[in-house]
Structure 1
Amino acid sequence: MSVSFIRRIASPKKVLTTAAVAAATAGMALAAAPAQAAPTSASSAKAIAHKMIPDAAQFNAFSKIVEHESGWNPTATNSSSGAYGLVQALPGSKMASAGSDWKTNPATQIKWGLDYMNSRYGSPVKAWNFWQTNHWY
């Protein structure tokens, strides 16, 4: 039975299920997403940051800022200011200096945010100290 025939008689969900079963039977694997796709879950973004910021105190400070700013959501957008991403860059396009995938890649956003905190405040810990006083950084 051909896939085109199945498409004509079955719903899209059934077609995908049938194709997956046929591929599995033939010894093929269907990938859900490309391996290079950027992770978007909070735990994935946090794990990336932990690898990029090995010092516990600096990571904890960075994490507290990101938790308050975006809840670790790499697509968080502030509706009133337009600030974007994990670190709420304003404008978000500033993060392009860290990579062209700044809109979707948590690692790019973390790199930019870490560079920003280090250059403006000296470290994530110092940025967190400022945030605690001002509720922004």
Structure 2
Amino acid sequence: MLISACAAPPAANVEIGFRNPTAPIGGTSRFDKARFAGDWSTVACLGTCSTEVRYVVATDDVFVRQAEGQDTPYLISAPGVLRQMGGDETLVVMWIDEGFRTAAIGDADGRWAAILNRNRKAARDRITAATEILDFNGWDVAKLRKVEG
């Protein structure tokens, strides 16, 4: 009598992100590439975030994210939605204040999100608004941490 041993297949390496993947996420209709371009400081973060980042308009539909000595090009596929060229990351600018001073941005896959500000001293009301938007878009804001420059 032959008995074969059956083993369960190895478990897939599942990465749990900082965002509920069933929650809807969308880019802000207020997004304006020329006004969004420039230098930003990360004041709060989920996951791994660069403390300083710059967005540069390369062409009509291409933005370049400069962070930690690396330039990453993104195609602007919809207002506030930036798809990495030659990669799989999609950045979503979920909110930006009217003065383009504070923004809530994150990776659509839930690997990281950040509250960006034009300088290190963001107004409390704008930080609160950005945090509420992250929460609305399914992010685990209980894990949001302040970033010191």
TM (norm. structure 1) is: 0.25
Larger RCO (CA under 8 A, 6+ residues apart)? 2
TM (norm. structure 2) is: 0.24
Structure possessing the higher radius of gyration over alpha carbons? 1
